[in-house]
Amino acid sequence: MNLLPRPRDGRHRTIVRLGHPVLRQRAEEVASSRFGTRFLRDLERDLLRTMFEDGGVGLAAPQIAVPLRVFAYYVPGEGGQDEVEPRVVVNPVLRLEGEAEVAGWEGCLSIPGLRGLVPRHPSLELSGFDVDGRELSLRAQGFHARVIQHETDHLDGIVFLDRMRNLTSLAFEEEWEQFASDRHLPVEA
């Protein structure tokens, strides 16, 4: 049983669902003049709190109807993955490695109740900033790389359904729990 961090501040924001136009727009870069502002720090806290309270491992700003290139994520230390502490990334740029051929289960807080197999790149380099404008650079692989690809897609108006090769693996949560094999990793992002 994974014990989620319990955010002490920030406020819970409503997550918009598929059909809301903000999920299908390209989100705007955050201007450097906004780094370190109350606005961006509040956005960071709200994203983290909402992500944890709604049981996700990632949440992009457009999912709370903020059309900016910001997302929160973390990787729980389960399913053979190394834990990655919760963090918020601003203006992410990805350098994808290999081919988008590693299939894994994904879900999305904006598409509640559904799961599907999505092919993703096995590893990547992420560069970007934290909310105070400090440069951030890291390598990620496996589930960590998957979450980053899923969240960055949200900033370009793309959802995991768009990335599925076909819809034959699409499943409702309860049926997925009952019938899917290889479902050891957390999927809700």
Catalytic residues: 151
- Residue whose C-beta lies closest to Ni ion: 108
In angstroms, how far is the first alpha carbon of the chain from the final one? 18
Burial class (CB in 10 A: 0-12, 13-18, 19+), 41: middle
**Site for Ni ion, rule CB under 5 A:** 108, 189
The least CB distance from residue 77 to Ni ion, in Å, is: 21
As given in the structure block, the two tokens for residue 68 are 């900016």
Cα angle 109-115-118, degrees, rounded to a multiple of 5: 105
Nearer to Ni ion, 109 or 131 (CB): 109
Query: Which CB atom, from 81 or from 149, has the smaller least distance to Ni ion?
Result: 149
**Cα–Cα distances in Å, from 12 out to 15, 42, 43, 46?**
9, 11, 11, 6
Residue 52 CB, nearest approach to Ni ion (Å): 15
Q: Element (H or E) spanning 89, and its range?
A: strand 84-97
Nearer to Ni ion, 129 or 160 (CB): 160
The nearest distance, CB 108 to Ni ion, in angstroms, is 3
